[in-house]
Amino acid sequence: MPTDLQMITRLLLTLALSGLIGLERQVHRREAGLRTHILVALGSCLIMLTSLYVFDIYKDKVALDPARIAAGVITGIGFLGAGTIIREPEGIRGLTTAASLWVVSGIGLAVGCGFNKIAIYATILVLAVLYLLRYIEGRLLKNPMFKNKEGAHGI
């Protein structure tokens, strides 16, 4: 079982990693921003830490699966993410925000169980997707080759 200091460190790392992703969403004025992403990831980290704690307490008394509670996070976050998706006449908005909420919950779970290095790499990859692909999409959308017959973008 991690020490109190290790658990606090995991919570702080979760705050920093999810804050970076939430900041990108906030800067682009998306439905769920900095605070939402941090809260989702911190909740996920806390749930993972709690799962490990419960497993440690009862491992000699009952057969438990520490991943079972974490699996509930992934299911539950889908409900929260669905609330950020908005259907409009022009199309659907909020899918990237829903996906970023889902991935920060995974980052929180990873940090909660001590998978710090991979959580950091995942955060870097998520930020690359959010920033770099936004730039690439913007460049492509300016290219007339990617417009359909009605003048809308086909990407």
Using CB atoms within 10 Å of the CB of residue 23, give its burial: 0 to 12 exposed, 13 to 18 middle, 19+ buried: middle
Tell me the pTM: 0.74
pLDDT at 119: 94
Q: How far apart are the C-alpha atoms of 60 and 51, rounded to whole Å?
A: 15
pLDDT at 68: 82
pLDDT at 155: 45
pLDDT at 21: 92
Nearest alpha carbon to residue 1 among 47, 72, 50:
50
Nearest alpha carbon to residue 99 among 25, 43, 12, 3:
25
pLDDT at 147: 58
* 8 Å CB contact between 69 and 14: no
Q: Compute mean pLDDT per 10 residues along the chain, 155 residues long, and list them.
A: 91 95 88 86 90 83 80 84 82 85 92 93 93 82 63 48
pLDDT at 51: 86
